[in-house]
């Protein structure tokens, strides 16, 4: 099960479904109380909250928008007030609005950057003050192979995820002296609602590009996140951990 997280409080953005849900549940299984943001269906968020509480951990969620800095700051302040502290932040919230550059609308370019990159900045900014006071903390940003290698038809998504890698490294340098680490995970193709809807021909093409010959699972991304927020990873910071079946070897 890995290092225990009893007494720790975690925040996960985009925590109701997919990779975010898997991370929420994994951290709860290891003993953390969890608060998460999600603007998706209420039913999914309530189901995730209920599953955490079944594990005997405290859990709260809010539909706050990660692109609203005041809402994010208010959410984090509420978590610190109700849970007493914040030890872990996982910036997972993300969207896609794929199109070729020549056809991409300015709104689709802007929205993806606002959610994927600006949202992570707002959440990071909000948790740093309590973490600095504690002289401890763990921040994990969920980037992507698209941010490492680029992806045709994803100029907005690739740019946002590449920016997230830069944010990870800059944050790591700024807060290391206070015992706070900041790392990133770069998933490859993972089985989620998004990939399940892809045409079979495209799925086969993606599998052919992945040396291990299969998609990853949300739980495998959660495993990596659980390691990076644990004491076992205390000497790792500014690192981008590829969990991609060998897709991007750097």
For 156, residues 6+ apart whose C-beta sits below 8 A from its C-beta are: 97, 104, 108, 109, 111, 112, 113
Q: Does the active-site annotation cover 122?
A: no
The catalytic residue among 118, 157, 189, 215 is 157
- b/e burial code for range 2-30 (CB count within 10 A of at least 16 → b): eeebeebbbbbbbbbbbbbbbbbbbbbbb
At residue 232's C-alpha, the angle toward residues 228 and 238, to 5°, is 40
Token pair 């709860």: residue: 28
Cα distance between residue 111 and residue 117, in whole Å? 10
Q: What residues are annotated to the active site?
A: 157
């Amino acid at each position: 099960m890995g290092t225990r997280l009893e007494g720790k409080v975690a925040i996960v953005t985009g925590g109701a479904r997919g990779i975010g849900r898997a991370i929420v549940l994994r951290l709860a299984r290891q003993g953390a109380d969890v608060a998460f943001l999600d603007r998706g269906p209420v039913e999914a968020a309530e189901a995730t909250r209920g599953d955490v509480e079944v594990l005997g951990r405290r859990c709260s969620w809010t539909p706050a928008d990660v692109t609203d800095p005041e809402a994010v700051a208010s959410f984090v302040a509420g978590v610190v007030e109700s849970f007493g502290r914040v030890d872990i932040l996982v910036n997972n919230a993300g969207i896609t609005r794929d199109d070729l550059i020549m056809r991409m609308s300015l709104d689709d370019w802007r929205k993806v950057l606002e959610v994927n990159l600006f949202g992570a900045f707002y959440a990071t900014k909000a948790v740093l003050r309590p973490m600095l006071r504690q002289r401890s903390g763990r921040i994990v940003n969920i980037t992507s192979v698209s941010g490492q290698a680029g992806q045709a038809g994803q100029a907005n998504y690739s740019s946002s995820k590449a920016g997230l890698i830069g944010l990870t490294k800059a944050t790591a340098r700024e807060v290391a002296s206070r015992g706070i680490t900041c790392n990133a995970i770069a998933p490859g193709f993972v089985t989620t609602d998004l990939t399940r809807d892809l045409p079979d021909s495209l799925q086969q093409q993606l599998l052919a590009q992945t040396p291990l010959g299969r998609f990853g699972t949300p739980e495998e991304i959660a495993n990596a996140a659980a390691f990076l927020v644990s004491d076992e990873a205390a000497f790792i910071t500014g690192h981008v951990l590829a969990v991609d079946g060998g897709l991007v070897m750097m």
